């Protein structure tokens, strides 16, 4: 009877199995087998962890740096300006005339007193000749008047002529003397005009622009060339009022110009603030600017101390905290069981590869500097200093 029951059960199982295969097919059976293997592997891992608890919690080696308290940090800023000529002028004619020669061109170097341009002086020379002839006539008249004055003085003394005749001769002499002085002044004035027909450079420099050519008829004040003094240029840089107030006249600073670092001296600070840029113009003496064109952009790097207690840390030590704040991981616990702790920090200043922070960080704390994505607070670690 039992045998019959067993055979009946086997028959039922066979029917169920054939029904299962007919219903789900072979692919479903393979999926069930894969799930069974995964569960078996997971159970094996849990079993191994239960047998050896230390195998899943080995301390992780981490590189650390020791935080050292600082009382300040240096903030460096770069300000742009221009290289300017110490003196620049637009050389012009002082009188009207015909331009007969312009002796320089753009880019030429001139020396002090060098003739830059000339005006036609023929009309002036003719006028000077006329005045010289007039002077000769006045000199002759004056000589005759003096002789007449001497004769009238003799006759007055003898009582042969009246005092009136003598006074007329005497005053005629004085009038001719005044006329001679007037002619002499006119000759000198013409001579000055002839000399000023040659326009000269008042200082050594370079011609930046030529404004007239030969043959032009110009009026007084017409510019000829623009002249820039290039021997001792100046750097004009706009600074914020607080930075300008921290500078000292006569002190040397570092200037970047033309791909070079130049040592410059602060010459002056303007007392007013520029209306447009709200900056104070600082003028620096640039003694060694050879090869740097006038008008080129220059940069001044200035550092200033900001009093704030904090710590310098590598940039890699920062990790993003909650609500957009920053955090660092430190090694806490005791020396036998070091563990990861989180400290909140505020970034006060940053440079290329380091940051200046303050917060809950303590002096001499061991700050983890790398591999932050592999650690969490409470994790056991083995700290080591970089280079050990």
Q: Do 220 and 94 share a structural domain?
A: yes
Which domain covers residue 14, as residue numbers? Answer: 2-55
Q: Do 69 and 195 share a structural domain?
A: no
Pick the last residue of a domain from 245, 270, 305: 305
Q: Do 108 and 203 share a structural domain?
A: yes
Q: Do 144 and 131 share a structural domain?
A: yes
- What was the pLDDT predicted at 1? 41
Q: Do 99 and 198 share a structural domain?
A: yes
Q: Do 319 and 243 share a structural domain?
A: no
Q: Do 96 and 82 share a structural domain?
A: no
Q: Do 190 and 103 share a structural domain?
A: yes
Q: Do 205 and 182 share a structural domain?
A: yes
Q: Do 168 and 269 share a structural domain?
A: no
What predicted TM-score, i.e. pTM, was given to this entire model? 0.54
Q: Do 145 and 210 share a structural domain?
A: yes
CA distance 178 to 225: 42
The count of domains in the chain is 4
- What was the pLDDT predicted at 335? 80
- What was the pLDDT predicted at 12? 45
Sign for the CA dihedral angle at 14, 20, 26, 30 comes to: negative
- What was the pLDDT predicted at 57? 63
Nearest to 313 by CA among 358, 282, 281: 358
Pick the last residue of a domain from 275, 305, 335: 305
Q: What is the CATH number of the domain that holds 341?
A: 2.40.420.20
Q: What is the CATH number of the domain that holds 265?
A: 2.40.30.170
Pick the last residue of a domain from 276, 305, 334: 305
Q: Do 206 and 125 share a structural domain?
A: yes
Sequential pLDDT tens for the chain (388 residues): 444 444 444 444 445 444 444 444 444 444 445 544 454 554 444 444 444 444 456 899 999 999 999 999 988 888 899 998 888 899 998 889 999 999 999 989 999 999 999 999 899 899 999 999 999 999 998 898 889 888 888 888 877 777 888 888 888 889 999 999 999 999 999 999 898 899 999 988 899 899 999 999 999 989 999 999 888 889 999 998 888 888 889 999 888 888 888 889 999 998 888 877 888 999 999 888 877 888 899 999 888 888 999 999 999 999 988 777 899 999 998 888 899 999 999 999 988 899 999 999 999 999 999 989 999 999 999 998 865 4
């Amino acid at each position: 009877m039992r045998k019959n029951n067993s055979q009946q059960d086997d028959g039922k199982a066979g029917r169920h199995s054939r029904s299962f295969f007919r219903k789900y097919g072979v692919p479903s059976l393979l999926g069930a087998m894969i799930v069974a293997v995964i569960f078996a592997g997971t159970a094996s891992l849990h079993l191994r962890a239960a047998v050896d608890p230390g195998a899943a919690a080995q301390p992780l080696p981490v590189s650390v740096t020791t935080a050292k308290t600082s009382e300040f940090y240096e903030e460096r800023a770069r300000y742009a300006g221009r290289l300017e000529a110490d003196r620049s002028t637009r050389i012009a004619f002082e009188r009207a005339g015909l331009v007969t020669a312009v002796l320089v061109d753009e880019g030429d170097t001139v020396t002090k007193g060098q003739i830059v341009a000339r005006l036609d002086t023929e009309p002036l020379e003719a006028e000077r000749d006329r005045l010289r002839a007039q002077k000769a006539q006045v000199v002759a008249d004056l000589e005759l008047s003096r002789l007449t004055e001497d004769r009238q003085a003799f006759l007055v003394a003898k009582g042969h002529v009246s005092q009136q005749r003598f006074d007329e001769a005497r005053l005629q002499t004085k009038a001719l003397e005044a006329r001679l002085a007037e002619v002499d002044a006119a000759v000198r004035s013409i001579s000055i005009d002839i000399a000023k027909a040659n326009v000269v450079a008042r200082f050594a420099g370079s011609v930046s622009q030529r404004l007239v050519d030969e043959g032009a008829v110009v009026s007084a004040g017409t510019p000829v060339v623009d002249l820039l003094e290039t021997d001792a240029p100046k750097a004009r840089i706009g600074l914020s009022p607080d930075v300008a107030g921290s500078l000292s006249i006569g002190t040397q600073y570092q200037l970047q110009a033309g791909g070079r670092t130049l040592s410059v001296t602060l010459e002056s600070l303007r007392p007013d603030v520029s209306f447009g840029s709200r900056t104070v113009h600082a003028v620096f003496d640039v003694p060694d600017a050879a090869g740097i064109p006038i008008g080129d952009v220059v940069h001044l790097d200035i550092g200033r101390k900001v009093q704030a207690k904090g710590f310098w840390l590598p940039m890699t030590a920062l990790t993003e905290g909650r609500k957009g704040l920053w955090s660092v991981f430190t090694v806490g616990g005791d020396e036998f069981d070091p563990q990861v702790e989180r400290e909140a920090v505020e970034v006060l200043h940053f440079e290329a590869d380091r940051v200046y922070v303050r917060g809950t960080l303590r002096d001499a704390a061991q700050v983890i500097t790398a591999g932050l994505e592999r650690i969490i607070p409470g994790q056991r670690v083995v700290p080591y200093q970089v280079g050990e």
